[in-house]
């Protein structure tokens, strides 16, 4: 870190009230880019309470009050929506299903291969034409050694995933498909506000995939230390994360949640026509404060969007 960066990290704005050393130390743990607004908010709280000294207890009470106010506002907003007769947003189930083809399939007679592939295509096309599921296909042939194709499925019922998967396995091609990876997740409103582009809040509850050529997927888990931070501190850290994400408009983020329903906590899928932008985005995010709280964020999959038929053709069985 350069001297200028170090000075920036240690920066404390001018103070109107007397602060104890302990209270100032706590502020230096707040990301520098939101530290000024945090300090101003705490001092305003102290002034409202006719306090002249800000100590560790005042800092804690100020932050608790602000977080409590935010929770209460969210509760009232939900109650008002229900009172107005608004229908609660129905959350989607999301499945990322990865397949690896057994090479033995390629050694079958051509007629048997063609029949098996057509059965597989017919099942996928049936679900693709259904209003109950959004289905997209991707190939990773030549990009990874442990997976060949991926099916991205979005619907409102986990049971639909099961029914479809059973039918896939019953096809001639399906009998030769292994499943190295499979991730299950759901949509939900983010805990963090995007102050730069508030419309992203609605995007989290309802995934509408775009037409990008590439999809970059990885599951990840946060450290336990992350969840021990206050909501206020986490929002400040995420502000930096969100700011960087908005610098790359060519990359669309789809965040889904797996708490309790799969091994990971999140599965993220980035849509883009520009792999170089995605690479730069991820590299820049590695340098953020939030990066230190990531426990695991692999494997990472680079997927190329294709039609159902072209995805099957990419397996090289014709």
Domain ranges for the chain? 3-83, 93-181+306-313, 185-298
Residue 6 pLDDT greater than 80, yes or no: no
pLDDT value for 93: 96
pLDDT value for 161: 97
Phi, psi dihedrals of residue 133, rounded to the nearest 5°: -150, 140
Closest by CA to 314, choosing from 112, 189, 173, is: 173
The class that CATH gives domain 185-298 is alpha beta
The class that CATH gives domain 3-83 is mainly alpha
Alpha carbons 107 and 110: distance in angstroms, whole number: 8
pLDDT in tens, 9-64: 556 778 888 999 888 888 877 766 667 778 888 888 899 999 999 998 988 888 77
Alpha carbons 234 and 34: distance in angstroms, whole number: 11
CATH 3.40.50.12780 for domain 93-181+306-313, yes or no, is no
Residue 157 pLDDT greater than 90, yes or no: yes
Two domains, one topology: 3-83 and 93-181+306-313:
no
pLDDT value for 88: 66
pLDDT value for 252: 94
Give 285's pLDDT tier (boundaries 50, 70, 90).
Answer: very high
């Amino acid at each position: 870190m350069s001297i200028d960066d170090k000075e920036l990290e240690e920066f404390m704005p001018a103070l109107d009230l007397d602060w104890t050393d302990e209270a100032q130390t706590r502020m230096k743990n707040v990301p520098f880019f939101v530290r000024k607004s945090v300090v101003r908010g705490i001092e305003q709280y102290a002034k409202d309470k006719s306090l002249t000294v800000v100590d560790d207890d005042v800092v804690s009470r100020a932050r608790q009050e602000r977080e409590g106010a935010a929770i209460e506002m969210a509760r009232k907003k939900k109650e008002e929506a229900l009172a107005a007769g608004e229908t609660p947003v129905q959350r989607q189930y999301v499945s990322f299903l990865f397949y690896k083809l057994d090479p033995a399939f390629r050694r079958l007679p051509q007629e048997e291969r063609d029949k098996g592939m057509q059965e597989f295509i017919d099942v996928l096309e049936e679900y693709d034409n259904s209003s109950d599921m959004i289905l997209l296909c991707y190939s990773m042939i030549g990009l990874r050694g442990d997976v060949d194709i991926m099916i991205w499925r979005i619907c409102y019922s986990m049971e639909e995933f099961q029914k479809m998967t059973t039918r896939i396995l019953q096809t001639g091609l399906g009998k030769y498909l292994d499943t190295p990876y499979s991730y299950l997740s759901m949509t939900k409103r983010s805990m963090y506000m995007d102050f730069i582009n508030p419309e992203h809040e609605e995007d989290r509850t309802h995934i509408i995939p775009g037409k990008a050529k590439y999809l970059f997927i990885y599951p990840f888990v946060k450290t336990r230390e992350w969840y021990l931070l206050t909501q206020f501190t986490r929002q400040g850290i995420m502000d930096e994360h969100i700011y960087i994400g908005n610098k790359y408009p060519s990359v669309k983020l789809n965040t889904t949640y797996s708490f309790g329903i799969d091994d990971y906590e999140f599965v993220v899928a980035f849509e883009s026509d520009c792999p170089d932008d995605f690479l730069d985005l991820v590299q820049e995010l590695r340098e953020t404060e939030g990066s230190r709280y990531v426990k695991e964020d692999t494997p990472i999959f680079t997927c190329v969007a294709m039609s159902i038929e072209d995805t099957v053709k990419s397996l090289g069985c014709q």
